[in-house]
């Protein structure tokens, strides 16, 4: 259970003022000393994460955040990170004591706007209790609350039960990666180039997770490099149910895979798993509207070391420039630092986000929508710019329909010669 990737855990965020007892509460719920507890306000600086199993929910990740009332210069940066943590929170705990004012109300508003299930926890009950007025207000607004003491254990069991009840099933039951696309007993071929950019001695997370999903569905797979694909296909008595390729090998793989065999990419599978495939299709079609010097944000969820012909910094910019036929301006970011102001970009291209939970990727898509900036992901953009889009979407009829509709709309807008 400890090996469950972070991205597949329900993320439970603890938010509140400094010294509200967030860290001691997390230690009490987890039964372990993972956060530093101190009477000095502001002991938690960067969000602290702790993975554990919360039965009967399963694997979860607690996020202990810095207090939202820190007015110091450093405090502003900590609060920024605290608010960033909201983007990946599946269940929010607002930790309060006997005080209740705009800090708590502001947190509740933020969670309501993002439709994040929220529990108010009145901690330190051994020292003071919340007022009846606040409890009535929360009851009237149907916001669940619990009174706890991390010191004597009061309410901790009730809190765990509330979390289990509120944890959204969507966080646990993410869409399938590939298992709903292939019947049990069928073969999938996975094409994974082993080039200098590939990590030494292992496959990357999306590949590993796809293999596991196939096995979970009683299907089976063959993993090949792009050079061996044609030979592997020739040796089969019947064609595979699906070929999934790394996006970088799309053109060669499309050439070697018979047209009647469905073909897609890991990134397109992850566009569906983490993101919003129809929205990403619309984002890819927006490539056609890019003007010379258009500004494109390339965002990666993890901070891997870039080497050689890196996909985000070298290959995608090259393919896009070739497709658009003009110079383009690229900005690259990695990790949790997604820009707050997206309005200066004409397009956002995101990686497959295999290290993010679904909530975090959805938050980024939401942010792009709010800024009116089209968003797509690596695999979707690559398939589009390499001209293999329709084929890659064949197994996703809804997404293909959107693409065909947008193309016909584009054509109808073109001036008649
Ligand atoms: S760049 Fe994105 S898709 Fe690739 S390994 Fe990192 S998080 Fe996963």
Give the pLDDT confidence of 345-377 residue by residue, as tens digits: 999 999 989 889 888 999 999 999 999 999 999
E strand or H helix at 307 = none
Pocket test for ligand 1, best of 7, 270, 334, 351 (most atoms within 8 A of CB): 351
Q: Could you tell me if the CB of 277 is within 6 A of ligand 1?
A: no
> Which residues, 6+ apart, have CB-to-CB distance to 404 below 8 Å?
390
Pocket test for ligand 1, best of 302, 335, 349, 358 (most atoms within 8 A of CB): 302
pLDDT, mean over the chain = 89
* Euclidean distance between CA atoms 329 and 297, whole angstroms: 9
Q: Could you tell me if the CB of 177 is within 6 A of ligand 1?
A: no
Ligand 1 mean position to 204 CA, how many Å?
8
Residue for token digits 């609350």? 145
**Domains in the chain, please, with CATH?**
6-172 (3.40.50.300), 179-267 (3.40.50.11420), 276-413 (3.40.50.11410)
- The closest-lying atom of ligand 1 relative to the alpha carbon of residue 304 is 6
Ligand 1 mean position to 80 CA, how many Å?
24
* Euclidean distance between CA atoms 417 and 73, whole angstroms: 61
Instruction: Give exposure, 6-39, as e/b (b: 16+ Cβ within 10 Å).
Output: ebebbbbbbbbbbbbbbbbbbbbbbeeebbebee
Tens-digit pLDDT profile for residues 188-243: 999 998 877 777 888 888 999 999 999 999 999 999 999 999 999 999 999 999 99
Tens-digit pLDDT profile for residues 9-68: 899 999 999 989 888 898 888 877 665 555 666 666 678 898 888 877 888 999 999 999
The number of residues in the chain equals 417
DSSP 91-130: EEEEEE-S--SHHHHHHHHHHHHTT--EEEEE--TTT---
């Amino acid at each position: 259970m400890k090996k469950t990737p972070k991205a597949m855990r329900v993320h439970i965020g603890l938010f509140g003022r400094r010294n509200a007892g967030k860290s001691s509460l997390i230690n009490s719920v987890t039964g372990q000393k993972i956060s530093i507890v101190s009477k000095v306000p502001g002991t938690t600086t960067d969000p602290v994460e702790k993975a554990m199993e919360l039965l009967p929910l399963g694997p979860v990740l607690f996020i202990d955040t810095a207090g939202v009332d820190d007015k110091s210069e450093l405090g502003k940066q900590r609060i920024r990170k605290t608010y960033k943590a909201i983007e990946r929170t599946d269940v929010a705990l607002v930790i309060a004591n006997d005080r209740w004012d705009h800090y708590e109300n502001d947190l509740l508003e933020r969670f309501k706007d993002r439709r994040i299930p929220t529990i108010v926890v009145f901690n330190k009950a051994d020292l003071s209790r919340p007022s009846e007025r606040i409890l009535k207000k929360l009851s009237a607004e149907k916001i669940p609350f619990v009174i706890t003491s991390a010191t004597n254990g009061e309410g901790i069991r009730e809190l765990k039960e509330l979390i289990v009840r509120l944890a959204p099933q969507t966080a646990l039951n993410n869409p399938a990666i590939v298992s709903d696309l292939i019947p049990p007993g069928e073969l999938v071929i996975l094409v994974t180039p082993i080039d200098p950019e590939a990590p030494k001695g292992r496959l990357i997370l999306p590949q590993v997770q796809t293999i596991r999903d196939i096995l979970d569905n009683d299907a089976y797979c063959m993993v090949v490099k792009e050079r061996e694909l044609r030979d592997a296909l020739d040796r089969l008595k019947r064609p595979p149910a699906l070929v999934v390729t790394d996006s970088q090998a799309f053109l060669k793989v499309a050439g070697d895979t018979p047209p009647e065999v469905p073909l897609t990419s890991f990134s397109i599978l992850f566009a569906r798993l983490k993101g919003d495939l129809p929205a990403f299709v619309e984002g890819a079609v927006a490539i056609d509207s890019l003007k010379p010097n258009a500004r494109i944000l390339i965002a990666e969820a993890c901070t891997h070391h870039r080497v050689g012909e890196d996909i985000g910094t070298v290959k995608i910019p090259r393919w896009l420039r070739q497709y658009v036929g003009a110079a383009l301006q690229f900005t690259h970011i990695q990790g949790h630092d997604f820009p707050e102001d997206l309005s200066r970009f004409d397009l956002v291209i995101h990686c497959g986000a295999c290290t993010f939970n679904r909530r975090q990727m959805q938050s980024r898509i939401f942010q792009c929508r709010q800024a009116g900036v089209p968003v797509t992901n690596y695999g979707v953009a690559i398939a589009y710019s390499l001209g293999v889009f329709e084929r890659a979407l064949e197994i996703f009829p809804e997404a293909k329909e959107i693409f065909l509709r947008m193309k016909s709309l584009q054509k109808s807008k073109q001036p008649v010669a």
